[in-house]
Amino acid sequence: MTDVIDPPVIVAPGAPSVPVVHEHEEHHGPEEHGPSGILKWLTTTDHKIIGLSYMITSIVIFYLAGVMALLIRVQLATPASSFVSFQQYNELFTMHGSLMMYLFAGPFAFGGLANYIVPLQVGAPDMAFPRLNALSYWLYLGGSITMLLGFFVAGGAADFGWVAYAPLSSATSSPGAGADAWIMALALTGFSAIFTGVNLVATIFYLRAPGMTMWRMPIFTWNMLVTGILILIAFPVLTAALVMLFADRHFGTHIYTVVGCHTTAFAGHPSVPDPNACGSAVLWQNLFWFFGHPEVYILALPYFGIVTEILPVFSRKPVFGYKGMVFATMSIAALSTGVWAHHMFTTGVVLLPFFSLLSLLIAVPTGIKFFNWIGTMWRGQLRFTTPMLFCIGFLLGFLMGGVTGVMLAAPPIDFFTHTTYFVVAHFHQVLFATAVFAGFAGLYYWYPKMFGRMLRDNLGKWHFWIMFVGFWLCYMPQYILGLKGMPRRVAVYPSNLGWQMYNDLSTVGAFLIGISFAILLWNLWISWRRPVPAGNNPWDGHTLEWFTTSPPPHHNYTHLPPIRSERPTWDYNHPDALVISHGRQPGENGHSNGSSRNGHSNGSGRNGHGGAPGSPAGVGIPTGAAAEGEVAPT
Amino acid sequence: MFASVSAVDSPSGSSPTRRGTLGSGRATPRRASRRWVALGAVAAGLLLGGCQLPTFGAYKGVTTQGQDSFKLWQGFFITGAVVFAIVFFLIIWSVFRYRHKSDEIPKQTQYHTLFEIIYTVVPIITVLVMFVFIFVTENEVDALNAQSVTVNVTAFQWGWQFQYPGYDVRVLGVELQDPTMVIPAHETTKIVLRSADVVHGFYVPEFNFSRYALPGVTNQFDLSPVTTGTFRGQCTNLCGLYHSLMIFQVKVVTPSKFQAWIHQQQNAPNTSDSIAAAKRQIAQGNLK
């Protein structure tokens, strides 16, 4: 962005409900003079269009990976099915996992929603590095295509699982070009993620609007900040590990290979076997999971953020325990870098108590989040719109996945559930709850902002209920299968062990989920053909993005409400319903209109009204610079 | 060991079995009123009063190690179920109790310091107590004691070799042949686990145990079966094309029958090929 952006003008809360628009003629320039149509999408550096590109691409990937899941479930519906071959089966679950983990769940959240929403929530005109942002997207698209092209090379797509354990991923065991395509794809999307991480962190630190102190950032933005930092910790490790894997495969190094390693690999020299020159297969697992477990939270935290945006809006209350929530997010992130070896309990070469204890401790901040979410709904006025239903689906699904996760943190229990369907059920419930329930809650929630039109609520509810039933039907039987001893990643299973019934239930559930997503497509189509206008703020939203138009103009804001809390739009629209700072005061019980401002520090600057410099909250008004160093209200 | 620790916080000391004390003793409701504490106590009493807890879907464990893990599973299942029930109830209660009734704006409460402290401290204590049980059980399961028999298990794509050092006995089988490992009951067998190629997983569901076979790493563990029988084992870690078929059997027999089996194997003509030969056979497509 080379054009100079005028600072948004802050509108005082006493102003008319249709705020006085401070006209900036230049603002209408860039949008109209830039390219249009497909060229606009190809050349844009606008965070909103890049965000939409990310979301569209990742949802296409989600549908592809979903179809693969259905093929897997068809194969498993009968014990000795020959619906697909062993080789095709291995390719299917590898690509299903890789697409979902690397190309959907992460990019949809931190590439798509965060890209679109974070600059809006902090009142910024764009991301900090718009061109780097565009590069991120194109790397991501290139990486995604590279991975999918694996299906069309000799030997087929990668077939070693999404974790690519060495030495199965070596040139000896997986010689095909599909494996190389997989490695290349992850290198490309890994850089894409790193650049997005840089961009998110820089945007949140440096481009906040006047008044938007750190402690006034919405939780979604907080979570994206922490996610960005986690990306910067985790993804370089993956990329480095992949480079070494590639070197093993093509340059004769023996970093991960143990069998058949030699000291010399130069032409003309005889290879001399030397066990001391051998690498370590466990090294790959350590490096991979050092990326992989923070990655789980890179996938989860943005979705926690979405839920934390939606629950308060449809409960008509502020998020309960805002600061505790932020600290919980930070502790999850910190702990997540020290738990990677709980994926390796059964290797016999990790320090079990250490990783077990840290894994258990993650349950504490996660539990805090649960109580924050429940506390947010407590004594609210809950409106069960589609996004809200999806959030409740998330809460229940994530609760189940979380409880079984605590069981898996116990090595003796992990010993008999590891790499069985118990683990499959556990992490599918966790990831489905976050990336699908919460992710599509976010889609339903912000779609009106992105397109200025609503998705149909009744179709959304059909989507929810069918998916909700499908979710429980698909995954609960898998816990039982795991306890009965069915290993994951098997294409066939014996017919005499009573496993088929549970597999069939699971398959029915999977197809219900598939049907529910057909309804989503129909909903999107209807909304496109027969738009229902959304207006700027259809949900009575709390955060800044609901203050601007739907869709927002090129640089997002021409004017801003005063930012006195983490929900400036709410404060603007409901000046008599501000936050009560610290819980129940004696004698305050039964107070429900929320107009009390007793002991309420957020309100202290409000009457002084945003225009006056030196108002008690100390907001530097329209200076254009982020108000750094401001004392946050408590 | 497990039982002795759980006795410390067992609410009913006279209970004949202490299984599940972990769950009922620890997972007291966090935000709930005394009513819930009372309900929990009743539930705990019912659970402990019965002489046998349900298995909650898991195997009881054929080995002493597996039985230790199973007890931990019971405790964790109960703990998990109680936590699930409390949080589930709170969510469902909020959803039904506070559904939209009027357009009045509810009280804008954001903080409640006491609740926040409670729901931070109680989970910390809970997981620390859980960790104690984990630590104790884990040491039981992973302990290496004096063993009477050693079996060198080698996993390879796609089969198993069971070699009995000192006896010159070897069993080798590839996929669909299901090689059988014979071990004596009421004795401790040491398994020395290796891999000849990629990462495999040695998993016997009814032993409640699995361990990776890692190339370049030698893993050792004890199996102390308490009953005889034949139990199914399978590779759990994806190891390539025929991973699904890498099945084996573990036959637990009485010590005398074990000696007879060894003797019979020693006298039988040695038909078992090398792993390399078995792999060549697989490569040539001689599946089945």
Mean pLDDT by runs of 10 across the 634 residues of chain A is: 54 48 43 74 93 96 97 95 94 96 95 95 95 97 96 92 93 91 96 96 95 95 97 96 94 81 50 64 94 94 97 95 95 94 93 94 95 95 96 97 95 95 96 96 96 95 97 97 95 93 97 97 95 93 94 92 92 86 44 37 35 34 36 36
CA B86 to chain CA centroid, nearest Å: 26
Nearest to A547 by CA among A532, A536, A531: A536
A349 vs B214: CB contact, 8 Å cut-off?
yes
**Is the confidence at residue B126, as pLDDT, over 80?**
yes
Residues from chain A contacting residue B59 (CB–CB below 8 Å): 416, 483, 485
- Cβ pair B87, A370 in contact under 8 A: yes
Structure tokens at B48: 């402990």
Which residue in the set A161, A281, A579 is minimally distant from B215, CB to CB? A281
Classify residue B232: in a domain, yes or no.
Answer: yes
Query: What was the pLDDT predicted at A528?
Result: 93
**Distance (Å) of CA A13 to CA A16, A575, B109:** 8, 7, 22
Would you state the pLDDT for residue A368? 95
B133 and B6 housed in the same domain: yes
Residues B188 and B260 in one domain: yes
Mind listing the pLDDT tens digit for each residue in B28-40? 444 445 565 565 5
Is A353 within 8 Å of B135 when comparing Cβ atoms? yes
Cis ω before A462 (30° cut-off from 0): no
Tokens 């104690």 belong to residue: B132
Q: Is A90 on the interface with B (CB under 8 A)?
A: yes
Query: What value does the mean pLDDT take over residues B116-133?
Result: 94
Flag whether B249 is in a domain: yes
AA identity, residue A331: S
Task: Evaluate whether residue B288 is within a structural domain.
Answer: no
Backbone dihedral region of B53: left (phi > 0), alpha (psi from -120 to 50 degrees) or beta?
Answer: beta
Read off the tokens for A394.
């998330």
| pLDDT at B40 (0 to 100) | 57
- On the 0-12 / 13-18 / 19+ scale of CB atoms within 10 A, A238 is buried
Q: How far is A359 from chain B (nearest CA, A)?
A: 10
CB pairs under 8 A between A and B: 304
Round to whole Å and give the CA distance between A309 and A325. 12
In chain B, whose CA is at the least distance from the CA of A580? B109
Closest C-alpha to B224, from B256, B192, B186, B196: B186
Q: Tell me which of A85, A93, A168, A245 to substitute to probe the interface with B (most B C-beta atoms closer than 10 Å).
A: A168
| Structural domain containing residue B53 | 2-142
The H-or-E segment that residue B180 falls in is strand B180-184
CA dist list (Å): A11 to A16, A207, A558: 9, 19, 10
- What pLDDT sits at residue B46? 56
User: In this complex, is the C-beta atom of A490 within 8 Å of any C-beta atom belonging to chain B?
Assistant: yes
Q: Do A407 and B104 touch (CB under 8 A)?
A: no
A593 CB neighbours in chain B (<8 A) are 104-105, 107
For chain A positions 256-315, those within 8 Å of chain B (CB to CB) are 258-259, 278, 280-282, 315
- Residues B102, B185, single domain; the answer is no
> What percentage of chain A carries pLDDT values higher than 70?
83
Report all structural domains of chain A as residue ranges with CATH numbers, in order of start. Answer: 47-529 (1.20.210.10)
A-chain residues within 8 Å CB-CB of B244?
86, 89, 489-493
Query: In the listed set B81, B107, B142, which residue is the last one of a domain according to the structure?
Result: B142
User: Which residues are CB-neighbours of B43 under 8 A, at least 6 positions away?
Assistant: B24, B82
pLDDT at A253: 84
Do B158 and B248 lie in a common domain?
A: yes
What average pLDDT does range B159-172 have in this prediction? 89
Instruction: Kindly provide the residue ranges of all beta strands, DSSP E only, lying in A234-312, ordered along the sequence.
Output: none
B199 neighbourhood in chain A, CB within 8 Å? 165-168, 281
Which residue in B72, B105, B119 is closest to A593 by CB distance? B105
Q: Which of residues 417-476 of A touch B (CB under 8 A)?
A: 418-420
Give the pLDDT confidence score for residue A620 in this predicted structure.
33
Q: Is A410 on the interface with B (CB under 8 A)?
A: yes
Assess whether B164 and B198 both reside in one domain: yes
Look at residue B247 and give its three-state secondary structure: strand
Which is higher by pLDDT, B253 or A15? B253
The pLDDT assigned to B52 comes to: 74
Subunit contact B98:A377, Cβ cutoff 8 A: yes
What was the pLDDT predicted at A30? 45
Residue type, B170: R
Q: Does the distance separating the beta carbons of B237 and A165 come in below 8 Å?
A: yes
CB-based contact, A364 to chain B, within 8 Å? yes
pLDDT at A37: 83
Using a 10 angstrom Cβ sphere, with 0-12 exposed, 13-18 middle and 19 or more buried, the burial of residue B126 is: buried
Contact B30, B37 (CB under 8 A): no
Question: Which range (A413-417, A595-599, B173-177, B193-197) has the least confidence?
Answer: A595-599
Is it the case that residue B44 has pLDDT exceeding 80? no
Q: Inter-chain contact B58–A87, Cβ cutoff 8 Å?
A: no
**Cβ of B100 and A419 within 8 Å?**
no
Would an 8 Å CB–CB cutoff place A149 in contact with chain B?
no
φ, ψ (nearest 5 deg) of residue B174: -105, -175
Q: B237 and A419 in contact by Cβ < 8 A?
A: yes
* CA dist B277 → A79, B66, B159, B280 (Å): 30, 35, 12, 5
Tell if the CB–CB gap between B109 and A583 is shorter than 8 Å: yes
Question: Which pLDDT belongs to residue A367?
Answer: 95
Q: In the prediction, which pLDDT does B146 show?
A: 78
Contact A376, A319 (CB under 8 A): yes
Nearest-by-Cβ selection for B120 from A368, A420, A491: A368
Q: Which of B116, B142, B168 is the last residue of a domain?
A: B142
SS3 B223: strand
Packing angle between helix A281-315 and helix A421-431, nearest 10 degrees? 40
The per-residue pLDDT for A261 is 60
Domain shared by B231 and B262, yes or no: yes
On whether residue B100 sits in a domain, the answer given is: yes
pLDDT confidence of residue A517: 96
Which of B86, B111, B142 delimits the end of a domain? B142
CA B164 centroid distance within chain: 26
Three-state DSSP class for residue B192:
strand
How many domains does chain B fold into? 2
Q: Find, among A28, A283, A4, the residue nearest to A164 by Cα.
A: A283
Are B198 and B176 part of one and the same domain? Answer: yes
pLDDT tens digits for range A78-94: 998 899 999 999 999 99
pLDDT attached to residue B269: 66
Residues with Cβ < 8 Å from B198, sequence gap 6 or more?
A165, A167, A168, A173, A281, B157, B215, B239, B240
CB contact under 8 A, B106 and A419: no
Does B244 share its domain with B174? yes
Are A346 and B95 a contacting pair at CB < 8 A? no
ipTM score assigned to the predicted complex: 0.85
Residue B202 lies in a domain: yes
Phi, psi of A543 (to 5 degrees): -95, 175
Measured between beta carbons, the chain B residues lying within 8 angstroms of A492 are: 244-245
B33: in domain: yes
Same structural domain for residues B209 and B276?
yes
Q: Cβ distance A617 to A24 under 8 Å?
A: no
Closest chain A residue to the Cα of B76, Cα to Cα: A407
Is residue B171 assigned to a domain? Answer: yes
DSSP B178: -
Instruction: Judge if B158 and B127 occupy the same domain.
Output: no
Q: How many CA atoms lie within 13 A of B99 on its CB side?
A: 9
The verdict on a CB contact (< 8 Å) between A165 and B88 is: no
**Contacts of residue B282 in chain A, CB cutoff 8 Å?**
none
- HEC sequence for A601-629: CHHHHCCCCCCCCCCCCCCCCCCCCCCCC
Task: State pTM to two decimals.
Answer: 0.86
The CATH code of the domain that includes B216 is 2.60.40.420
Kindly give the pairing relationship between strand B229-235 and strand B247-253: antiparallel
pLDDT on residue A36: 79
CA angle A612, A614, A620 (to 5 degrees): 80
Decide: helix, strand or coil at residue B269: coil
Per-residue pLDDT for B139 more than 60? Answer: yes
Decide if B48 contacts B25 (C-beta within 8 A).
Answer: no
β-pairing, B159-164 vs B169-174, is antiparallel
Chain A residues within an 8 Å CB radius of B246: none
User: Is there a contact between A584 and B135 if contact means CB atoms under 8 Å apart?
Assistant: no
What are φ and ψ of residue A455, in 5° steps? Answer: -85, 150
In a shared domain, residues B166 and B55 = no
CA nearest to B246 within chain A: A490
- The verdict on a CB contact (< 8 Å) between A412 and B211 is no
Same domain, B241 and B156: yes
Measured between alpha carbons, how far is residue B122 from residues A250, A367, A406, B32, B168 in Å?
Answer: 53, 10, 15, 12, 57
Contact indicator for A551, A562 with CB cutoff of 8 Å:
no
Residues of B in contact with A374 (CB under 8 A): 87, 90-91, 94
